[in-house]
A and B are shown apart, each in its own frame.
Chain A
Amino acid sequence: MTIQPIVQGRGIVKRYGHVTAIDHADFDLYPGEVLAVIGDNGAGKSSIVKSICGAVIPDEGEIKIEGKPVHFTSPLDAREQGIEIVYQQLALSPALSIADNMFAGRELLKPGIRGSLFRQLDKKRMEDFAREKLTELGLMTVQSINQAVETLSGGQRQGVAVARAAAFAKKFIIMDEPTAALGVKESRRVLELIQDVRSKGIPIILISHNMPHVFEVADRVHIHRLGKRHAVMDPKSISMSDAVAIMTGAMEPPPVEQQQLTPKAA
């Protein structure tokens, strides 16, 4: 029996004028895995991930989520389906509190007339939920949930963004360069977070330039080159320098049998 992929993309094409950013690329994400997407600048790795979450609308090809074809026109469509994105620029409002940020665009209202007629927010329930989610990921001391996000460090902000994604993702999470702006110690924390999220059974697509980070957390590595899926490797069976060589075209990818197009049987 084969496992059904969470995301299956086939023959995806995206052109910008004369430039073909994605050239008949395939893409697979399987349940419970961390799939790293690596590629040189301009290889189209963000384009393909954006086409999965609706930020880019592909010209050709088919994307199925849990077996059903989808046609997202904005990231909000994807969000309604339980797909969360952690952006490189984080998408947090600095002056708002942690709880406000976690619930931006999906606030909880008070029960009864105070919610239905007076549209009053249930701040307590949102704060409790935010606190619970942050504690679950081992992130925060308890009294700080009303703190403005701008008073947090870069790593803490990334933590809030990851916690938000983990709290609301039903299908999978996309993370775009989550450690790019962070120091060594904060990166470590975020990598731990990624593993915590995976252990909750939520698959993750991780876009990153940082090979040590990729090789540490990824179950499979999707190598994108010249708009195509060039190879999918098991990070345990390949060295970082070989991965970089494949990515940059200095080395041919190994034959398909030695690749890792589907996850290993557990």
Chain B
Amino acid sequence: MSETASKGQDYESSLSKATASVAAFEKRKGLVPQIQSALHATPALVPLVVLVLSIVTFGVLLGSKFFSPFALTLILQQVQIVGIVAAAQSLVILTAGIDLSVGAIMVLSSVVMGQFTFRYGIPAPISIMAGLMCGTLMGFINGWLVAKIKLPPFIVTLGMWQIVLATNFLYSANETIRSQDIEAEAPMLQFFGNVIQVGSARLTFGALFMLLLFVLLAYILNQTAWGRHVYAVGDDKEAAELSGIKTNKVIITVYMASGLICAFAGWALIGRIGSVSPTSGQLANIESITAVVIGGISLFGGRGAVMGSLFGALIVGVFTLGLRLLGADAQWTYLLIGVLIISAVAVDQWIRKASA
């Protein structure tokens, strides 16, 4: 036990003969690993390929009945609400959270917009602002409970789902505001129902808004510091915190953004169905999670591209319309979507192995 300091290094003396390529990068060879790492780098690729394949398949099976500007823009109209909500859901899931209250926030926000206008006679633009603020506030409560009180997102938003939905029914007294009344007195509430008609293609403002929203979110997530922080928090919150990211602030702002986007979805919902109905949009939370999962965003957070969720929502829309035009039982749609969900998660697990 009397070895000297220099002797203590003897065990490493053979290291000088070791190869010096510690920091070199090895390219993985073979087609399958290359596909794996390509998917790892661009996770929205899988849903895009599935989307294109399904459009081509239904196009071949149905011909111009499906492969027409009218039918394809109809899909956009049908998925606009789920698409917008899925954008909100994507943000939350990227932080390794989940937002079960998206549908409830959407409906409450639309009810606030409607009731403020019709019950209190407030000008429509101000009511709409109030609805958007209501959604943001609900999101803030979610985010605050998750970040500061450290409750699991599933529990927080499960609770808020019930609270917000009950508030919606209590406040609206389960009363629907009729489409004709809105059209006559506050057409601005139906703003997103406006249509740009090009030939037989019908693009609603709501569908355009959905597309623009996804472009905007893709920009924010990839090109701004806040966007990178969303990924970092979802990836490893502890590590993000230690490397100097204010993780609580990121989480709270993500849920606030989610609430705001859901409120926009509520506004678009009025445009889609014409009326303000407290019973609408009940499936929005499950459908949005479906779109996000099929879109290849990992439920474990930190991985995936927001564009994937758009593709995910469109895949569901293509299957729904395509199978209906084929005259198949609607249950086939659900069955196939179930298969897609499980396959998407299996692919996600496989892609993750590229990092191992």
Contacts and interface: CB of A to CB of B under 8 A. Distances in A.
Given A93-B243, A95-B302, A119-B224, A156 B231 contact: no
Contact of B232 (A93, A123, A239): A93
B302 A239 contact: no
B355 A151 contact: yes
Contact of A76 (B40, B226, B244): B244
Interface string A16-31: 0000000000000000
A1 B231 CA distance: 51
Contact of B22 (A119, A121, A156, A216): A156
A188 B22 CA distance: 10
Interface string B63-74: 000000000000
B163 to A, nearest CB: 33
B245 interface: yes
Size class of the A contact interface (CB-based, 8 Å): 35 or more
Pick from A151, A184, A216 the residue with the most CB of B within 10 Å: A151
Interface stretch (A36-44, A97-105, A194-202, A258-266): A97-105
Interface string B205-241: 0000000000000000001111011011001101110
A104 B232 contact: yes
A89 interface: yes
Contacts of A105: 229, 243-246
B23 interface: yes
B232 A212 contact: no
A56 interface: no
B225 A239 contact: no
A121 B221 CA distance: 11
Contacts of B9: 212, 216
Contacts, number: 124
Interface string B8-41: 1101100100100011110000000000000010
B329 interface: no
Given A87-B242, A94-B355, A185-B15, A107 B228 contact: yes
Given A100-B228, A148-B40, A95 B303 contact: yes
A167 interface: no
Interface stretch (A7-15, A61-69, A136-144, A222-230): A136-144
A188 B282 CA distance: 60
A215 B228 contact: no
Contact of B15 (A75, A93, A184, A212): A184
B239 A93 contact: yes
A211 B22 contact: no
A91 B242 contact: yes
Contacts of B2: 239, 241
A100 B134 CA distance: 34
B243 A159 contact: no
Nearest to A218: B5
Contact of A184 (B1, B12, B224): B12
A186 B243 contact: no
B218 to A, nearest CB: 13
B243 A92 contact: yes
Contact of A107 (B225, B246, B355): B225
A85 B239 CA distance: 12
Given A140-B23, A147-B25, A236 B243 contact: no
B220 to A, nearest CB: 8
A178 interface: no
A8 B295 CA distance: 54
- Of all A-B residue pairs in the complex, the 5 with the closest CB atoms, nearest first, are A105-B244, A91-B242, A150-B355, A107-B225, A215-B5
Interface of B: 1-5, 8-9, 11-12, 15, 18, 22-25, 40, 223-226, 228-229, 231-232, 235-236, 238-240, 242-246, 302-303, 354-355
10 contacts: A76-B246, A94-B236, A96-B228, A96-B231, A139-B23, A141-B24, A144-B25, A147-B25, A185-B22, A240-B5
